[in-house]
Chains A and B, each alone.
Chain A
Amino acid sequence: MTVFWLMDYLLLALTLGCAVLVVRLRNLSGAVMALSAVGAFLSLLFVVLGAPDDAHSEIVVGSIALPVLYLVAIGKARAEVRDTGDLAERERR
């Protein structure tokens, strides 16, 4: 039983850490890969909580399909979002 709680808290911490990484990473492709890691750890959390069917759809959608969709969108837009300070200035006005 203690293995269950340890895996539960470890996976929650890893999911949260990867979600913070998605926001904090400056590289866009790196952020997309951190999003894919969020999906992988979330599906692992579903397995630990005893819902393998939810884990299936989370692997396919959250870990592969959604990051690939983001990659395609970034590749088509070719957006250079580097200067967040300028962006924040524009938001403030």
Chain B
Amino acid sequence: MHTVYGALALAEIAIGALVVLRLALGPTVADRIVALNTVCTQAALSVFFYAAYTDRSIYLDVAIWFASFSYLGAIVFARYLERELL
């Protein structure tokens, strides 16, 4: 069962690699903001599964920080996109 959690953490990182491809190719700024937010979400999920894989609950803290601060970053990027400072 724990190996399944490890494989899931690996799969989330692989999905993150695909999203990085969109971040590289994305023609508009909005594409890149959404790709960055998705990268942070996949990283949080990967940390969750890695915490379940290694049986260490201290890693869950990192996942919570990832989730909350990716939200904050998306808000700030969207604000600067709205004011057209980019």
Contacts and interface: CB of A to CB of B under 8 A. Distances in A.
Interface residues of A, number: 39
Contact of B73 (A36, A47, A75): A36
A33 B23 contact: yes
Given A67-B73, A71-B86, A21 B24 contact: yes
B-side binding surface: helix, strand, loop or mixed? helix
Contacts of A67: 73
Contact of B62 (A28, A56, A78): A56
Interface residues of B, number: 41
A63 B71 CA distance: 12
B13 A63 contact: no
Contacts, number: 110
B17 A29 contact: no
Interface of B: 3, 6-7, 9-10, 13-14, 16-17, 20, 23-24, 26, 29, 32-33, 35-36, 39-40, 43, 46-47, 50, 53, 58-59, 61-62, 65-66, 69-70, 72-73, 76-77, 80, 83, 85-86
B62 A59 contact: yes
Nearest to A46: B62
Contact of A40 (B3, B40, B58): B40
